[in-house]
Structure 1
Amino acid sequence: MRTLTFTLPDPFPLLNVQQRKHYRTRQREKIATARRIAAELSGEIPAEPFTRAHVLIIRYSTGTPDLDGLYGGAKDLLDCLTTPELQANGKIRNKFGIGLIVDDSPKHITLTVEPRVCKRAEARTVVTVTEMVGAEVMA
């Protein structure tokens, strides 16, 4: 069972913030996040993505967000963990992904997102991706 953990310097934006951004701005931020994750992991990215994984995201911030905003805001971060895939129509699915997990669908991941209250100077996002094998997949 392999585990990868990385820390992003800021809490990820919540759903309300994401929805109000222009799609090009959101796209640029996804690219920046994917690059930041790749730099954080520097050489730890597996040759083959995890087929089945548990993703734990802990968002440290000064306030406690509502759960729908918390889980919805994690979408762009999850998109950065996926594997790009060429579709039959010629478009690339998950084009911003760095290849840690096959896909972010329930078939491939279980997701836990937790809010933690901290001081403003300690705000960050900690992501742990744990490969699930054998009996864990059956659960």
Structure 2
Amino acid sequence: MKKLTFTLPYPLLLPNRRGLPANRAAAAAAIKKERVMMAMEIAALLAGIRPVEPIQYARVWVFRHSTGQEPDRDNFNAACKGLLDVLQPSTAKRSYGLGVIENDKPGRCDLRIHHVHAKHSTQQMTRVIITEIDAAEIDAVRAAVAKEAEQAASLIGVHGAPLGLDKDASAKALAAA
């Protein structure tokens, strides 16, 4: 099983801390520049150990060491988006991809994010550990994703409009619940 570890000398930037320009095109350009810089840094850190073929099924551990308080889940996930984009293969829209993992879909990538409180700003960093998942773990991840999807679908049917129904049918479904 393949295992790659690298450390970025900074905590991943949270979306609410970016300070992006209000202009949409300028913000997109700033995000792309940030990801290109991250790709160059990760490529240098993985020099000589980067896999020839992308890891088909991966578990990606991200340990964000920061002096601030623990971010909420949506900010944490959004902060990892750029990292996951960099780790995937290059495409026409994502020219900076390194091809470390094949895909970041839940059935292919098991993302585990953790906050580690750093006592001093010099201890801030992001440690990333990528491991190849074997067949048994792949099935467990897929089963967990399917179970979560099933639970979400049942919640939608009870607490909101069931998918694919019009307003009248939604009102009847809610009244029946």
TM-score (norm 1): 0.90
2-structure distance, mates of 1:103, 1:36: 20
Contact 2:107/2:138 (CA < 8 Å) preserved in 1?
no
Alignment-derived partner of residue 34 in structure 1: 39
Larger % of helix: which?
2
Alignment-derived partner of residue 5 in structure 2: 5
Q: Which runs of 5+ in 2 are unaligned?
A: 22-26, 141-177
Contact 2:67/2:117 (CA < 8 Å) preserved in 1?
yes
Equivalent residue letter for 1:114: H
1-structure distance, mates of 2:35, 2:93: 14
Alignment-derived partner of residue 73 in structure 1: 79
Once the two structures are TM-superposed, the CA of residue 20 in structure 1 deviates from its matched residue by: 3.3
Larger % of strand: which?
1
| CA distance 1:23–1:93, change in 2 (3 Å) | closer
Once the two structures are TM-superposed, the CA of residue 18 in structure 1 deviates from its matched residue by: 4.4
Give per-residue Cα distances to partners, 1:69-100, cap 9 Å, x unaligned: 11111100110000124xxxxxx143221010
Alignment-derived partner of residue 108 in structure 1: 108
Q: Runs of at least 4 residues of structure 1 off by over 2 A?
A: 17-21
Question: What RMSD over aligned residues (CA atoms) do the two structures have, in Å?
Answer: 1.4
Q: Secondary structure at the match of 1:74?
A: helix
Counterparts of residues 21-100 of structure 1 (less than 5 Å):
21=21, 22-63=27-68, 64-85=70-91, 92-100=92-100
Query: How many pairs were matched up?
Result: 133
1-structure distance, mates of 2:40, 2:135: 32
Give per-residue Cα distances to partners, 1:22-51, cap 9 Å, x unaligned: 111111110010010010011111110000
Once the two structures are TM-superposed, the CA of residue 19 in structure 1 deviates from its matched residue by: 7.6
- Name which one, 1 or 2, has greater alpha-carbon Rg: 2
Equivalent residue letter for 2:40: R
